[in-house]
Structures are given as C-alpha cells and as structure tokens.
Chains A and B, each alone.
Chain A
Amino acid sequence: MDPIQINILGIPGLVLFWVVTIIAFVLFGKRITKLVKLLMGAKPENRFDNLGKRILYLFTFVLGQKRLLHEYIIGVAHFLIFWGFLLFAGTFGWNLLKWLFPFIPIPYADDIGIIRIFFVIFSVLVFISLVVATIRRVFFPPAHLQKTADAYIIITLISLVVLTTLFGIGFRAVAVGHEEASLNHADNFLFSVFSSMSADSASGLFLLMMWMHQLVVLGFLAYLPYSKHLHLLASPFGVFFSNADRVNSLDISDAKEETTAGASHWNEFTWRQLLNSFACAECGRCDRVCPALTSGFKLSPREIIHHLKEHILEAGFSSNGKKSSGDNEIRPLIGGIISEKDLWACTTCLSCMDRCPVLNEHIPVIVNMRRYLVSQGTIDNTLQDVLTKMGRYGNSMGQSDRMRAKWTTQGLDFKIKDARKEPVDYLWFVGDYASYDSRIQDITRKTAKVFQKVGLSYGILYEGERNSGNDIRRVGEEGLFDILKEKNLQAIKQSKFSTIITTDPHTYNTLKNEYILNGETNANIIHYSELYDQLVRSGQLKLNKKLNYTITYHDPCYLGRYNGIYDAPRRVLKAIGTNLVEMPRNRAKSYCCGAGGGRIWMEDEPGIKERPSESRVREAVSLTGVEALVVACPKDIVMFQDALKTTGNEGKIGIKDISDLVYEAIE
C-alpha cells in the first residue's frame, strides 16, 4: 500500500511524481527568483539590525497572529488555518522526501499515530474555519474586502488538502484493518465511517487520496507566488524586516543616496517598500480604519499597496529583460495606476499601519510618492503657498518669524525666559499653531501660566524656533524639512536645558524620533500632557478645585498611535476631577481629526461625505452627558471647533484643551 510503488497508466508512480514535482518547483522557483531579483534591484535600506527584536516579531505577529485577532471571528479562523498550514506544510516536506527517495529508511508522516491525531484535529478545525471564512466572504463581507476569484481558488485548494487527509486516514484505517494495534481514536472514528467498505476498495481509495493530496499541494505551491496568496510566503519576511517600533520616523537607515526626489518607478522605492505589496493579503483592515477613505476620498491604503504590486508586475518584469505580453503600454505608477489625489488624501494617521496584520508600512510608500510629486512641483496651490511661506518665514501662517513670540507680550504679567540666553530646566518648543494662531494663543498663555504657577524653570526659543517640520516631511518636502531641522537644532544647541516640552504632538514626534536629539544633547523630550502628569504625581501641581465636568478625550494620532502616550493625559484628567467617558474609538483606535500629514494645509475635494473631524465631533456629541471634548493638540482645537460649526453642533459640547482644564483647576 505504498503510494509511490504503483503504476499509473502504465507509468511508474515514482517517475510520474518526479515529473510533477519538478514542474511545480520550476514554476514556483521561477517566479520567486524573479520577485527576489526585483527586490534586489530596489533601493537599499538596512533592515538587518536588531535581530532579537525581529525574531520576536515573528513569534508575535506570525506564529501568534496578534493583529489578525483584532477581528475576532475571522482572526481565530485564520489562526487555525495558519497553524494547520504549518502542520501540513511540514509533513508535506517530510512525505515529499519519502515519495521522491523511497529508499530513505523513514516512515511516511501519516504512518505515525500521533501525527494522524493532529491531522484529524487540524483537518476538522481548518475545514470549519474555511466554512466560516467562506460564509463571511459570501454573506457578511466586511467593507473593503477585496473579493477576487483568487480567494475561492485558495479556499478550494485548502479544503482539498484537508479533505484528502481526512478521507485518506479513514480509508487507510479500513485498508489496514480494524485490529491493527497502531490504530488510535482518530482512526477508529474514521474507521467507523467507512467500515462498510471492503479492504481492497479502501486501499485503492487511500492511494487516490494520497496522490490527490500530493498533487493539490504541488499545484498550490506552483500557483501560490502568482496569486495574492504570495502573502503567505512574503509576509513572514515582511514582519521580520518591519520597523514596527520605529513607525514614528521616516528615516531610512543606510540610504545610499538622497531620498528627496521620491519615487515614481518601482526601482526608486526601497526593497522593504516593495515587499509590502508582496506581503499584502488584501484583507482590507487598513481600509476599514482609514479616515480619508471613510470620508469619501478615493484613497485606499490597500489599493495603494496593491497598485504598487501591479506596477511592479508590469514595469518591473518588463524592464527585467522580458517584454510584457502584447504591445500594452506600461502605465506610469503615479497618474496612471495611482492618482495624485489619492496620495494627497492621506492624513498619515497611522491607523492602516497599526492594524495591518503583516506589518506593512503604507505611509513611507505614500510619502515617497509625495516626494516625487513635490520634486516635480505638481502640488495643490494652497499647499504650495504654505511651503513657500514655510521656506521663507519658518511657519505655515506666512507671518514674520520675528513675531513668533508675540503671544508672550499680551495677557501675561511675567516674562518667559529666552532659553538661548539663560539656562533653564525645561525648553518649551511651542510650535506654529500655539504661537501664531489667534484661536490657540489664549490656551498657550494658559499653559505658560500653569508653568509659571508651578514655578517651573522653563524658557522658549523666541524667534529662533521654526516649524518642526513633522508634517512638511510627510507632505514630501524633504529638503525643506532638513532646513527647518537644521535651524531648530541650531537654536536648541545654543540653549542649556535638560528636557524639551512640546505643545504639538506632531512636533513631539519629529523632535523625539527624527531629530535624534537624544544622541547629541542627551535631551529628554516630553509632551506637555506628560509634564502635567509628572507635576501632578510629584505634587508640584497643586489643584485648588475639583472640576466635576463630564468629558471625553481625543487621542491625537501623533501622541497615541505614533508614540503610545495614552495614559498620561487620562491620569491628568482624572486628577483634576473630571469624569472621563470614552468614545467608542479611543486609544489606538482613535479617529484622526483629518489635519495630519499636511492635510490641514490642503483643500478638501468637493463631494466629501463627512470630514474626519465631523465624524469625530458627532461621536463625541453622541455620548450622553458629555460637556466637553478634551484634546491635547493645538490642531485639534482648530479642526474640531470648525467641525462643531459645520455639523450644527455648536453649543452642544465644548472643545477644550487639557491646559484649559488644568489652568481652571489650579486657579
């Protein structure tokens, strides 16, 4: 009953199997070689550092399937299919060896009882999971799930793999006979199903099942790299080479050349950026959390990644020496496959990257293409205006850089130290909106008054401060970011301090993660909400009254998702006596206000369904008894106050900065 020792249509099974195996491996190998070659032809990027961390990623995100479990039912189903896959792939390799080289003195995997038990358990679990996945796909598809024939082909193939296993074990049990000692509970169960069969026909059917199983798996192998299920091979590499702990920086380590010109062709991306497209399973989790897409912009992070793959297959393969089939012209990536509007719609909120089960990195890809658009000068007029102003005055408002500290000259009965001239403990990097915007200045002064009342030794950079460049970088103006950074570093280095406080989470992000101040100045960088938290806990911030407001808190993207600061502001809000009611989308699921990534400087397209800020304000207003939406980012004040008006919710809820409340509590 050895499956390889039979003749099929007069041809020895061994010969036939060798032929099929070689064909499958050649098809598989050809495609993989091509893909790897493409990756090697892309721009370099060092992702080989910190191997310990990378191995940990494999355990957490591949073996542990952590991010898949965000969507529970399909997550568990995928978890089981994945582990079933590992079992079947492992034993397939084992059996393959025995099939190809029958003289090797090892048993077949399914000759071993314990493995048969695992086979039966996982076959059943995987089959149930496939049924669940199919039902979901057909009857309850989540938004933005890419429905392709691919998925059904794969579901069918996997079903065949597990069914041939189950039936094979059953037929085997009947064929070898009930009395055989090696039978176990799993065999006995299946034995009872097929016991009416004669041993001979069971034996024949067993061989059929074995051959079908092997052929299906070989077919699967050959088909895989040509389908979206390439993710199954590429995603473990994607996870291994991800920078999940450095998503807050757009720096490319060991970039060999200038990155300012951006990318519009596959070989102008880094290899890790291309790998995103191979690792994508088109599950749509990114789309489901994308504020731009939800608002009705055309941007879909999933499609960006998928389009990159289409482009690689079109342009990458043809420039590899082989012409694309027919005389189809190769479409340009930007303007041809991906529209410019989609690229500009991204708020860089990080939700897509935060949810992606395979740790794909969408934002670096988008920013890289934005850089290309900037280098070509094809940008929105309002954005161009801001970039020009930023280049000249160092702020987006187009106000004189000499007037940056003008807010300190009104409404304050004390003078704030110039950190460049006298040493301070805390250097307060105030930021554009907090400094210049008349809607925010009052809050900025309250923050100063809190610092003053606490007796904090602090100072500001006065006209030495520039926009930090966080969003300039994300708009794709890398050269301007460099200049802003240089000028800020100059002013910072003139100053003596131990800690930098920032008002704006965007500023916080770039100072902390992209200025690399820590290495040079040993500076500690904190957000003002963290400072409040420290001051409350150390008892320096003396609260004079409890504020009994019922409030909700909005996690700014660049504070929460980007830098993991969720608890400090909540502790402060609790300490001052407010009753915090969480919005459904809180902490890592916080919904972007729509201002990030330079969106605050761009015009909204006509036909937007609901701006992100409007959706967020409605979410806050829908909570019963909530008097204020509390924020910890100056841009949020601007965005949400505006959204209150456009949604007709003015007066229903207040938009408060955390400084408003802290100031009130210590007054």
Chain B
Amino acid sequence: MDIVVFLKMVPDVVEELVVADTGKSLDTQFLRMKLNDPDDYSLEEALILKEKYGGTVTVVAMEAAEVDDVLFTALAKGADRIVKIPGDWTGIQAPAIAKVLASYFSSAGRQLGPDTLVLLGSQAIDDLEGEVAPYLSEILGAPYIGVITGISLDAEKKKVSVIKEFAGGLRGEFELPLPCVIGIQAAEKPPRYVPVAKVRSIMKTAKIETVDIAPPEITSGVTIEKMFIPEAAGKAKMIEGEPEQISAQIIDLLKETGILRR
C-alpha cells in the first residue's frame, strides 16, 4: 500500500495569539507553529497500517516554521519518505491547499496509484470544517470520507473499510475503493513517542526531499474581513453564605430575570 500523509502546521494556542495591525491575520511575530493534532493521529494510523499490511508511508508537508522538526520526527517514528513543498504559504486557505497537495501527485515520479491511500487530519484549529480533504478528493477524483477512527484493508488490497464516529456514541462502518482520501479523527492508538536521541540522529543522516509546486492563483476561497479576539461579555457573580441564604438569593435572581414567576 502506498500511504501518503499530509501534515499541516497550525498556530500553537499555548502561545498568546496576537492579531496583526491589518486586523485580518495573526501577527506572525508572536506566532509559533505546531503540528495539527489530528494530523499527528493520521500519521499514527498510517504507521499502524504499514505495520499491519506493509507498504510505504510518505509524509508530505508544506513549508512552515518548525516543519522540518515535524518531518524528521515522522521519519524517526517509522515513515519511509519525508517531502517538503517549499514556499511562503502564509494565509493560504483550504481550497488552495487542496490544489497544492493535488499537484504533488502530478510531480515528477509521483502519481495517484491504484493502491494509494491519502490520509489527512479530519480538521484543524484553523480549518474546523475540515475542508482540505474533501476538496483534495474532488480534484483527485478519488472518494473521500472523514471523521474516521479506524481503517482496515481487505485481502485483495483494493478496498478499505473504515469506522466513522457519529454523535451519541454511534459508529458506522464504510467501505471505499482505493485510491481514496480519508480524514482521520483519531488513530487506534495515541501517537507513539519517539525519543529525542532518535530524532536527533535522524536529523544528522536523513534529508528532506523537496517538491516544487507553483502557488495556485487564488490562495483563498474566502476573504477575511476582520479577525478579532472576542471581548469578554457578561459577568459571573459568586453567591456566598449559608445554603438557605444562597437558595433565597437564587430565587430572587430567577424572579428578577423573569425566568421564575410567582
């Protein structure tokens, strides 16, 4: 099986997010990038599939700050190839990302084969709808399914059956022919740990392949009007005292707000 995992870097929300002076994007000066969490799971699922069924795992990412570390880590975890698409991709949105990723399959020596499985994170903090994967599947002409938590391959290695999570604890099982595009919500196991020493030694010996892809003309399908940090609204009032006093106050409050009528 030819497994291709696309990894995406997203702003690290542990850091304070600052809106740039233009009011239309984040201030990159304070931004630190990290791997999108669901993408970490899609890499894990790819590695699990490789361990189960054999094949190769190719990890592809568009250039971003700290992406090299992420790629080397993927290699240390067990990926076979790591590929970077160089360029300044700041501000690029889902439809355009899908175009770039689709172009990867028409780059030299690369194609969407009959046994290619494309894995992406089901969503990202800056793409909550998880648009990239369905756009990509449309361009590639391959079927798509998202919010997947488990994949297995059939005996002839022509179809995959996948588990999709629904609200309320329901699960569905679906079958797709290869090649296809799958959005991963979670892998069967949490992403594995790879010791720092292993990543470091791989950094010394391995090289990241690069594939040049021209930026698409339109980098975003939508136009950002304004980006802002929500202002704190409302207030919380702590009610103190004995239980009886507290309950009396609560009743008064409910009356005041008109929820409770005598």
Residue positions of A touching B, CB distance < 8 A = 258, 260-261, 374-375, 377, 379, 381, 384, 387-388, 391-393, 398-400, 402, 477-480, 482-483
Q: Decide: B195 and A392 in contact? CB cutoff 8 A.
A: no
Give the residue name and chain of the B residue nearest to A390 (CB): B196
- Distance in angstroms between the alpha carbons of A258 and B200 in the assembled complex: 12
- Distance in angstroms between the alpha carbons of A381 and B191 in the assembled complex: 10
Q: Decide: B14 and A374 in contact? CB cutoff 8 A.
A: no
Q: Decide: A375 and B15 in contact? CB cutoff 8 A.
A: no
- Distance in angstroms between the alpha carbons of A387 and B194 in the assembled complex: 10
Chain A proximity of B18: nearest CB distance (Å)? 12
Q: Decide: B193 and A384 in contact? CB cutoff 8 A.
A: yes
Q: Which 10 A-B pairs have CB atoms at the shortest separation, nearest pair first?
A: A479-B197, A479-B196, A260-B197, A480-B196, A377-B193, A384-B193, A377-B192, A400-B15, A400-B14, A375-B195
Q: CB-CB < 8 A to A374: which residues of B?
A: 193, 195
Judged by DSSP, the binding face of A is helix
Give the residue name and chain of the A residue nearest to B77 (CB): A377
Q: Decide: A477 and B190 in contact? CB cutoff 8 A.
A: no
**The one of A381, A400, A479, A482 that contacts B190, using a Cβ cutoff of 8 Å:** A381
Q: Decide: B195 and A260 in contact? CB cutoff 8 A.
A: yes
- Distance in angstroms between the alpha carbons of A486 and B218 in the assembled complex: 44
Q: CB-CB < 8 A to A388: which residues of B?
A: 193
Judged by DSSP, the binding face of B is loop
- Distance in angstroms between the alpha carbons of A479 and B202 in the assembled complex: 13
Q: Decide: A477 and B15 in contact? CB cutoff 8 A.
A: no
Chain B proximity of A462: nearest CB distance (Å)? 16
Q: CB-CB < 8 A to B207: which residues of A?
A: none
Chain B proximity of A581: nearest CB distance (Å)? 38
Q: Which of B168-197 contact A (CB under 8 A)?
A: 190, 192-197
Q: Decide: B190 and A384 in contact? CB cutoff 8 A.
A: yes
Q: Would A377 and B194 be within 8 Å (CB), given that A398-B14, A400-B16, A402-B15 are in contact?
A: yes
- Distance in angstroms between the alpha carbons of A260 and B16 in the assembled complex: 35
Q: Decide: A477 and B196 in contact? CB cutoff 8 A.
A: yes
What interface size band does chain B fall in? Answer: 10 to 19
Chain A proximity of B247: nearest CB distance (Å)? 27
Q: Would A393 and B14 be within 8 Å (CB), given that A479-B198, A479-B200 are in contact?
A: yes
Q: Decide: B14 and A479 in contact? CB cutoff 8 A.
A: no
Q: Does B50 make an interface contact (CB < 8 A)?
A: no
Q: CB-CB < 8 A to A384: which residues of B?
A: 190, 193
Q: CB-CB < 8 A to B15: which residues of A?
A: 400, 402
- Can you name 27 A-B pairs with beta carbons within 8 Å? A258-B197, A260-B195, A260-B197, A374-B193, A374-B195, A377-B192, A377-B193, A377-B194, A384-B190, A387-B193, A388-B193, A392-B34, A393-B14, A399-B14, A400-B16, A477-B195, A477-B196, A478-B195, A478-B197, A479-B196, A479-B198, A479-B199, A479-B200, A482-B196, A482-B197, A483-B196, A483-B200
Q: Decide: A391 and B190 in contact? CB cutoff 8 A.
A: no
- Distance in angstroms between the alpha carbons of A482 and B196 in the assembled complex: 9
- Distance in angstroms between the alpha carbons of A648 and B197 in the assembled complex: 44
The digit string for B98-114, where 1 denotes a CB below 8 A from any CB of A, is 00000000000000000
In addition to A478-B197, A483-B196, 18 A-B residue pairs with Cβ atoms within 8 Å of each other are A260-B195, A260-B197, A377-B192, A377-B194, A377-B195, A379-B193, A381-B190, A384-B190, A387-B193, A391-B196, A398-B14, A400-B14, A477-B195, A477-B196, A478-B195, A479-B195, A479-B200, A482-B197
Q: Which of B188-247 contact A (CB under 8 A)?
A: 190, 192-200
- Distance in angstroms between the alpha carbons of A477 and B195 in the assembled complex: 7
Q: Decide: A375 and B198 in contact? CB cutoff 8 A.
A: yes
Q: CB-CB < 8 A to A399: which residues of B?
A: 14
- Distance in angstroms between the alpha carbons of A68 and B10 in the assembled complex: 60
Interface centre among B14, B190, B193, B200 (most CB of A within 10 A): B193
- Distance in angstroms between the alpha carbons of A398 and B190 in the assembled complex: 18
- Distance in angstroms between the alpha carbons of A374 and B197 in the assembled complex: 10
Q: Decide: A480 and B195 in contact? CB cutoff 8 A.
A: yes
Chain B proximity of A383: nearest CB distance (Å)? 9
